[in-house]
Amino acid sequence: MKLLFAADLHMDPLIWRDLPNVLNDSHDSWLQIVAEALRRRVDAVILGGDVFDRHPPSETVRCFLEGVWMLKEAKIPILAIQGQHGRSHKLAWSSLDPYVEDIHAAGRTIGKFNITGIDNLPPTQLKECLANLNPCVNVLVVHQMIRGMVPSFGGREIWDMDPDWVPNHVKLVLAGDYHSPVERTFKGIQFKYNGSTVTRSIDEPDAKFFHIIDEEFGIEPVRLLTRKIARFLLMNEVYTEDEERQMLTELVALPNGAVAYFRHNPRIAKLEEMCRAAAPHVNFIFKPAIIRTELVKNEAAVVTKVSLRGCLDRLLEREKDPFLYDFIVDLLASESPTETVAVHRHRCLEVVNADVQKTQGPELLPAPEPGH
């Protein structure tokens, strides 16, 4: 007895908005999921919300339905809930074919699994639904930000579901909405985020998964075959010939269609021109970094006026909160506040993703390539 769980497919031909030639990554992930469900003969496929982005185009609808029809032919049930993307109070997008069962507030028994789902809801409504959950339910499917599993940003909590709201008869909570595969245990209940099945932001972890749940509620991550992403950080203004040669060698070795992401010193001469000429088979994203100009201390100078930087040094010690201190210093010195905020958000997510990687199992089994 096995269940296959996936969430946040965000199916759309164009995921990378600034790379119009990079197409169909989300379609490929869905077809891999279907192929593995057929190969393993799972007893059900569970979709944890955000199957589509808003208003999917016809080619995406067709791709999704082709997968549904293959599962239907193999008599593998498909159970789904709605996330906040494209949510409808009348008919879920995932219900384009009636074979896909909408399990919001509805039960479904498969072997020893008693499954129900709850669409993405505001906290007050969600808490009420959980309080009235059928006591037979042991697998719950939600699409929420769960407290203790998602990070805070700028000291602001972003969760909309508390694990304490889940009744004790539930053994496993399968969750969508957060795009990293995080697993935690609260009150003896397993909580599992699948993470997105396609990269939608350069800040997300490269590794994408779906998960297999066995009859003992064990969870096996299965890694999807996804587009190669290479990251380069170039903060110096000038590089030696050997360093430049090594970088170009790495670029040339990337597979066709790979994405190369550069955070770079904006003063590097002809970086974009050089990279595109060396690796025309690669898709490039160039993001100039904020280079902070350190203020030169002049011990002999007499302070004659108050500055914001001077106020900062009196109010906040860098040793106590280096992230906040560096962010404010960069913001004060920047001519582009929007870019500064984006850079520091990227740094925060790198710390979060490093923690996420520690939660992943040591053995990741690659799914087969879809047969198309």
Residue 137 has pLDDT above 60, yes or no: yes
Residue 368 has pLDDT above 50, yes or no: no
Lowest-confidence pick of 180-189, 205-214, 276-285, 287-296: 287-296
pLDDT band per the 50, 70, 90 thresholds, residue 7: very high
- pLDDT for position 341: 67
- pLDDT for position 205: 83
- pLDDT for position 73: 97
Q: How many CA atoms lie within 13 A of 32 on its CB side?
A: 24
Mean pLDDT of 292-313: 50
- pLDDT for position 345: 63
Compare 370 and 255 and report the one with higher pLDDT: 255
Q: Where are the domains of the chain?
A: 2-227+355-366, 236-288
Per-residue pLDDT tens for 215-247?
999 999 999 999 999 999 998 888 899 999 999
Q: Which residues pair with 261 in a beta bridge?
A: 231, 285
Dist. CA 45–CA 143, nearest whole Å: 16
* 145: phi then psi, degrees, rounded to nearest 5: -90, 115
pLDDT band per the 50, 70, 90 thresholds, residue 293: very low
Residue 255 has pLDDT above 90, yes or no: yes
Per-residue pLDDT tens for 81-100?
999 875 665 667 777 889 99
pLDDT band per the 50, 70, 90 thresholds, residue 171: very high
Per-residue pLDDT tens for 182-196?
999 999 999 999 999
Q: Tokens for 9, please give them.
A: 């497919």
Per-residue pLDDT tens for 327-360?
777 777 666 676 666 666 656 655 544 444 443 4
Residue 367 has pLDDT above 80, yes or no: no
- pLDDT for position 66: 97
Mean pLDDT of 27-43: 97
Q: Are 179 and 153 in contact (CB under 8 A)?
A: no
pLDDT band per the 50, 70, 90 thresholds, residue 304: very low
Q: Whole-model pTM?
A: 0.77
Residue 299 has pLDDT above 50, yes or no: no
- pLDDT for position 154: 57
- pLDDT for position 271: 94
Superfamily of domain 2-227+355-366: Metallo-dependent phosphatases (3.60.21.10)
